[in-house]
Amino acid sequence: MSSFETTDTEETVTCLRITVYHPRQEEQQVFRALEFCQPQQLRADEMVKFGRDCNVCQYNFVDPRVSRIQFALLFFRHFNSSEFGFQIKNMSKKVKLIVENNELAYLNKVDLPETCTIRFGDYQMLMQKQEGQSEDYFNVRFELAKMSLWQEKNLLLRAPIPDTCFSYADSPVEMDENE
């Protein structure tokens, strides 16, 4: 028997890819405390906090308008399932957190879908979950967007559909049935 046949199968780790955008990132460098394009492994039982306080939060935004603790993520396993997910909880008393057009007030939490957009103040984030099997760890990987995530999303929605050559219009166009 070869060593290949007897080695343990490598367990994959769930990864949360977070693409961030702020309109004044170039001038203010609000994301300078984040490490980009490198997965960072976190324990599954940790509540991961995002905010301005570097003594409390694992991920910091260098901006006095961000709350000390802006929001928190919790990794969990769905009930009676082998699938993992994330919950997001608004930890700011002053700023509402918008998750896929749902407004979360202070201490409200919601399960994150596989892919979703999050906004607070001028900050925009696209969160995408890549499934894994590890019960002990998960990864977070940051990427920096060059343009507004809302603008990018609208451009994608308006892109032509190759099969039919139709694109989405700004408003519906009325047509007579006989035309």
| Separation CA 33–CA 22 (nearest Å) | 14
Asked if residue 113 belongs to a domain, the reply is yes
Does pLDDT of 151 surpass 80?
A: no
Q: Which residues on neighbouring strands pair with residue 50, listed in sequence order?
A: 59, 71
Question: Cα–Cα distances in Å, from 141 out to 49, 126, 130?
Answer: 15, 12, 11
pLDDT at residue number 154? 52
pLDDT at residue number 152? 57
Q: What is the pLDDT of residues 68-98, one digit of tens each?
A: 999 999 999 888 888 899 999 999 999 999 9
Asked if residue 50 belongs to a domain, the reply is yes
How many separate domains does the chain show?
A: 1
Host domain of residue 103: 10-146
Buried b (16+ CB within 10 A) or exposed e, 103-123: ebeeeebbebeeebbbbbbbb
Asked if residue 3 belongs to a domain, the reply is no
Q: What is the pLDDT of residues 95-122, one digit of tens each?
A: 999 999 899 999 999 999 999 999 999 9
Asked if residue 15 belongs to a domain, the reply is yes
Q: What is the pLDDT of residues 9-62, one digit of tens each?
A: 678 999 999 999 999 999 999 999 999 999 999 999 999 999 999 999 999 999
Q: Of 24, 30, 33, nearest to 66 (Cα)? A: 30
pLDDT at residue number 9? 61
The beta strand positions in 78-151, using DSSP E, are: 84-90, 97-99, 102-104, 109-111, 115-120, 123-130, 137-144
| Separation CA 129–CA 110 (nearest Å) | 15
Asked if residue 153 belongs to a domain, the reply is no
Confidence band (pLDDT; 50, 70, 90) for 158? very low
| Separation CA 52–CA 72 (nearest Å) | 12
Q: What is the pLDDT of residues 62-71, one digit of tens each?
A: 999 999 999 9
Asked if residue 173 belongs to a domain, the reply is no
Question: Cα–Cα distances in Å, from 71 out to 1, 8, 34, 87, 127?
Answer: 51, 37, 16, 10, 14
CATH number at residue 41: 2.60.200.20
Asked if residue 174 belongs to a domain, the reply is no
